[in-house]
Amino acid sequence: MMRVQGLSIRRRDGERWRYRGLLAFAVIGALAGCATDSNGKTVYSSPVETPQDVNVPKATVTQEAVAAAATPTSSKFGVTAVGQKVAQFRNDFEKLKANTVSRSAQLDTIRAQTVTNVEGYHALVGGIRSRLQMGSTPGNPELLAQWNQAQTQLTQIDSDVQTLDKLSAQVSADAASSSYLLDSIRASYSLSGALEEDHRNLRFLEDEVGQNAIVIDRALQGLNDEINRQQDYVTNERTSLVALAADINAGQTYNGTPRRMTARGTMTATPASMAPQPQALNDRRPLVVIRFDKPDVAYEPALYQALSRALERRPDAVFDLVAVSPTGGNAASAKQRADAVLKSMTGMGLPSDRVSESTMASATAKTPEVHIYVR
């Protein structure tokens, strides 16, 4: 028998493993550490402390992750065909998503420009109406200058609408590309030779493309609604602006409501007869001569006034609209100007069947001209 730390260990085989177990327990307790409390009892404690409030870094999507998603999935047999398609789909989608962001920025820029033009237009028109309400001199040159500025602002608004129309065409093309890409992704599920990772990437990409397609569709619908609204606004304001020119020429406003030319007299349905020959027109004095010697010719105020006075004298009058081009010049250019003048006349309320069109060349004309005669 021998003593180890106060324990008697007998060499009998039946008790040998029992004492070994006690010895092992004692060794474990010594390794774990021990302490004595105030009552003299031994208290065991572990030297290993449990960590508290461990901050686990959150996963973030980086450019490296996007690049990894665009990398074709490969196995020990090489890159799969579906994996290559996933990579191509990812590249196409990244371009489409960049287009979506770019279109949105363009729309914000156009809207801001339109707001500025509309505010400038209404400030000019409001100033003109205020002076007319208080009474002004007929044909006040200051008001005419402001009217020309207002017309320029309205032209800018119309230009903004055309820009919106071009942007709508681009967004529509993006919508078509998005639909084609989504169909291609869904068709790739049926291809053989794909890994599970390929299908997982396809599902993830399908969700992204679908969400972006919703954004594109909403943007396209909003663009089309805004274009229609702005076009109606510009059309109404052109009519209002023409009536405002007549008020400027009269030096006063008429209850602040836009008037059309039909208020001057009863427009009968008398059709215009056959257009006279050019030699017959040379013997008559034109009511209005419009010379297009610069890009923007503000002819509508004077045209409205001339037509209004002619109809006051002859309510059943008809008009000859002649496109005059220089001898040897571009007759098509003069005809284009004449068509624009005809559109202005019908916008003022004059029925189109009260106007006949013709063309002629003139040796005295240096630029395209439009002559209007009364019959």
Domain boundaries, the chain: 2-44, 66-250, 262-374
- Collapsed DSSP state (helix, strand, coil) of residue 35: strand
What pLDDT, on the 0 to 100 scale, is given for residue 193?
Answer: 87
Cα gap 152→205, rounded to integer Å: 48
Token pair 């679908």: residue: 210
Cα gap 29→23, rounded to integer Å: 10
Cα gap 15→239, rounded to integer Å: 117
> Angle 300-313/331-347 helices, nearest 10 degrees?
60
What is the DSSP secondary-structure string of 202-235? HHHHHHHHHHHHHHHHHHHHHHHHHHHHHHHHHH
What pLDDT, on the 0 to 100 scale, is given for residue 254?
Answer: 53
CATH superfamily of 262-374: OmpA-like domain (3.30.1330.60)
What pLDDT, on the 0 to 100 scale, is given for residue 75?
Answer: 54
Cα separations (Å) of 216 from 62, 105, 165, 211? Answer: 25, 13, 15, 9
Query: Which DSSP category does 145 fall into?
Result: H
pTM over 0.85: no
Nearest to 244 by CA among 136, 343, 342: 136
What pLDDT, on the 0 to 100 scale, is given for residue 11?
Answer: 45
Contact 191, 82 (CB under 8 A): yes
Cα gap 143→120, rounded to integer Å: 15
Contact 136, 143 (CB under 8 A): yes
What pLDDT, on the 0 to 100 scale, is given for residue 332?
Answer: 87
**Per-block average pLDDT, block size 10, for the chain (375 residues)?**
42 44 40 46 41 37 45 62 92 94 93 93 92 84 89 90 92 93 93 90 94 94 91 87 82 52 37 48 80 83 82 86 88 89 84 89 88 91
- Collapsed DSSP state (helix, strand, coil) of residue 4: strand
The CATH architecture annotation of domain 66-250 reads Up-down Bundle (1.20)
What is the DSSP secondary-structure string of 265-320? S----PPP-SPPPHHHHHTS--SEEEE--SS----HHHHHHHHHHHHHH-TT--EE
Cα gap 222→107, rounded to integer Å: 10
**Could you give the dihedral angle defined by the CA atoms of residues 147, 151, 157 and 160, in that order, rounded to the nearest 10 degrees?**
-140
Nearest to 311 by CA among 274, 272, 263: 263
Q: Residue 238: how many CA atoms within 13 Å on its side-chain side?
A: 19
Residues with Cβ within 8 Å of residue 74, at least 6 apart in sequence: 80, 83
What pLDDT, on the 0 to 100 scale, is given for residue 310?
Answer: 86
Count the Cβ atoms, other than its own, within 10 Å of residue 237: 22
Long-range contacts of 59-68 (CB under 8 A, 24+ apart): 66/90, 66/94
What pLDDT, on the 0 to 100 scale, is given for residue 43?
Answer: 44
